[in-house]
Structure 1
Amino acid sequence: MSDPKAELEAFIQTTEFSCLGARAALKKGSIVHGHYAVLGDPESARAHYRDMLGYARDIRPTLSDKSFRTFVSTFEEPGGILGEEEYERLLWRHLQLIHDIDSRTYGLDEGATSDPDEPNFGFHVAGHSFFVVGMHPGSSRASRRFSRPAIAFNSLMQFMLLGDKFFSMQDAIRKRETTNNGSVNPSFTTYEYQMPSRHFSGRMTEEDWKCPFTSRHEPSSVKYTSDVMQRPTG
Structure 2
Amino acid sequence: MIGDPDHHRRPLIAVNDVQHLEDGVLDKIAHPTFPCVGAKSALARGTLKIMACHSLVSGWDDVRIHRTLLDWAADYRTDPKGLRSLAVVFEGPLTLDEADFEKAMWERIQSFSDKDHWLGQPFDHRVSPDPEDPHFSLSFGGEAFFVVGLHPNASRPARRFPSPTLVFNLHDQFEHLREEGKYERMREKILERDREIAGDINPMLARHGELSEARQYSGRQVAADWHCPFRDPRRKSTHGSD
TM-score (norm 1): 0.88
Unaligned runs of 5+ in 2: 1-15
The aligned amino acid for 2:163 is R
CA contact (8 A) 1:84 1:203 kept: yes
- CA offset at residue 191 of structure 1? 10
After the TM superposition, list the runs of 4 or more consecutive aligned residues in structure 1 that deviate by more than 3 angstroms. Answer: 189-192, 218-222
Q: 1:138 aligns with which of 148, 153, 177?
A: 153
Aligned mates of 2:208, 2:45 — CA distance in 1: 32
Aligned mates of 1:190, 1:170 — CA distance in 2: 10
- CA offset at residue 60 of structure 1? 2.0
- CA offset at residue 194 of structure 1? 1.2
Indicate whether 1:85 and 2:95 are aligned. Answer: no
Q: 1:74 aligns with which of 89, 112, 117?
A: 89
Deviations 1:108-161 (A, max 9, x none): 113112211111111111111111000000100110100000000010000000
Indicate whether 1:183 and 2:200 are aligned. Answer: yes
Q: 2:123 aligns with which of 108, 126, 151?
A: 108
Deviations 1:164-203 (A, max 9, x none): 2100000111111111221111111699821110000011
- Aligned-pair identity in percent equals 30
CA contact (8 A) 1:34 1:51 kept: no
- Residue 51 of structure 2 aligns to a residue whose secondary structure is strand
Superposition RMSD on alpha carbons, in Å? Answer: 1.9
Q: 1:23 aligns with which of 10, 31, 40?
A: 40
Aligned mates of 2:67, 2:92 — CA distance in 1: 19
Indicate the larger mover: 213-222 or 192-201.
213-222
The verdict on how the C-alpha distance between 1:185 and 1:192 changes in structure 2, with shifts beyond 3 A counting, is: farther
- CA offset at residue 16 of structure 1? 3.7
The aligned amino acid for 2:104 is L
CA contact (8 A) 2:152 2:164 kept: yes
Q: 1:4 aligns with which of 21, 31, 46?
A: 21
- CA offset at residue 40 of structure 1? 3.4
| Residues paired across the two proteins, number | 219
The aligned amino acid for 2:105 is L
Indicate the larger mover: 87-96 or 26-35.
26-35
TM-score (norm 2): 0.85
Give the corresponding residue for 1:214: 231
The verdict on how the C-alpha distance between 1:212 and 1:221 changes in structure 2, with shifts beyond 3 A counting, is: closer
- Residue 42 of structure 1 aligns to a residue whose secondary structure is coil
Give the corresponding residue for 2:112: 98
The verdict on how the C-alpha distance between 1:60 and 1:117 changes in structure 2, with shifts beyond 3 A counting, is: same
The aligned amino acid for 1:96 is Q
Q: 1:61 aligns with which of 52, 63, 78?
A: 78
Q: 1:159 aligns with which of 174, 179, 186?
A: 174
- Residue 204 of structure 2 aligns to a residue whose secondary structure is helix
Q: 2:218 aligns with which of 201, 206, 209?
A: 201
- Residue 60 of structure 2 aligns to a residue whose secondary structure is helix
Give the corresponding residue for 1:148: 163
Deviations 1:48-68 (A, max 9, x none): 11222211211122223xx11
Deviations 1:73-98 (A, max 9, x none): 000121x2311000000000000011
CA contact (8 A) 1:129 1:155 kept: yes
